[in-house]
Amino acid sequence: MKAEKRKDLILACSKKLFAKQGFYRTQISDIIDEARIARGTIYQYFKNKEDIFVSLLEGAYAQWEQAVSQAVAAIDLKTIKPVDYFRLRIQTTLEFLLADPDICSIVLSMGFGLPEDLEKATRKLESKIRDIAVNDFMLGIHNNHVRKNINIDHAAEMIAGAAFRSAYYMQKKAKTGDRADIDTMTDEIVNLLAPGIFLPESLKL
């Protein structure tokens, strides 16, 4: 149990540093200073610096999956209105991203200039968010709630972009991430995007 604590400590400190300085500018020295551990200790828990990074993102990915499935479990899919379903998705995503703003920064800011493995890990979370949006769109079109001429992939891409950007915006504006802020932010996103997505009659429900 102590060991797990240690590993988590390293992950927590690394996350903070990666978020602030990125992968390359974060040195092993920074991490051990932050975690107040010895140089060698890191290598008892992680194969190398890349391994820390990948572990971090995979942890975040697991948390995200749990958050999404919890959110869906809490609603009645039979009666929920399309726009409210959309709103819930946005809200869940924002909550998750703001609960872990460092991961949000890392995913947002880590670019193409990473070794293949890290790149892949970084994009996994993003692409999963996109995939869910794609699924929702297909269902919405099938149920006659979403306009038929929408380019699903492109729209999903833009919505993912808008969500991440909003989370980034909240951080930048030093929004606290509490319920009120998230609700306001969610409303703004929904107000901006819903009219372009849903058919008028669905919107009026």
For residue 44 the two structure tokens come to 């008892």
For residue 172 the two structure tokens come to 């930048």
Alpha-carbon span 184 to 165, nearest angstrom: 15
Evaluate the CA torsion angle 143, 149, 153, 154 in order and state its sign: negative
Binding flag, residue 29, a copy of itself (CB under 8 A):
no
- Among 13, 23, 94, 177, which residue interacts with a copy of itself (rule: CB under 8 A)? 23
Angle between helix 179-197 and 152-172 (nearest 10): 150
* Contact of residue 112 among DNA, a copy of itself, none (CB under 5-8 Å per partner type): a copy of itself
Residue 52: exposure state from Cβ atoms within 10 A (0-12, 13-18, ≥19)? buried
Nearest residue to 164 via CA among 205, 118, 122 = 122
Alpha-carbon span 68 to 88, nearest angstrom: 10
Binding flag, residue 34, DNA (CB under 7 A):
no
The residue type at 44: Q
- Among 12, 16, 37, 84, which residue interacts with DNA (rule: CB under 7 A)? 37
Q: Name the residue nearer to a copy of itself (CB basis): 59 or 101.
A: 101
* Contact of residue 38 among DNA, a copy of itself, none (CB under 5-8 Å per partner type): DNA
Minimum CB distance to DNA, residue 38 (Å) = 3
Give me the phi and psi of 198, to 5 degrees please.
-90, 155
Minimum CB distance to a copy of itself, residue 37 (Å) = 18
Alpha-carbon span 193 to 150, nearest angstrom: 13
Binding flag, residue 195, a copy of itself (CB under 8 A):
yes
Binding flag, residue 116, DNA (CB under 7 A):
no
Binding flag, residue 110, a copy of itself (CB under 8 A):
yes
Q: Within positions 44 to 63, which residues make up the interface with DNA, using CB under 7 A?
A: 44-45, 48-50
Alpha-carbon span 71 to 77, nearest angstrom: 11
Candidates 20-28, 83-91, 152-160, 187-195: pick the segment binding DNA (CB under 7 A). Answer: 20-28
Q: Which residues lie near DNA (CB under 7 A)? A: 2-3, 6, 26-29, 37-41, 43-45, 48-50
Q: Which residues lie near a copy of itself (CB under 8 A)? A: 18-26, 105, 108-115, 149-151, 153-155, 157-158, 160-162, 164-166, 168-169, 173, 185, 188-189, 191-197
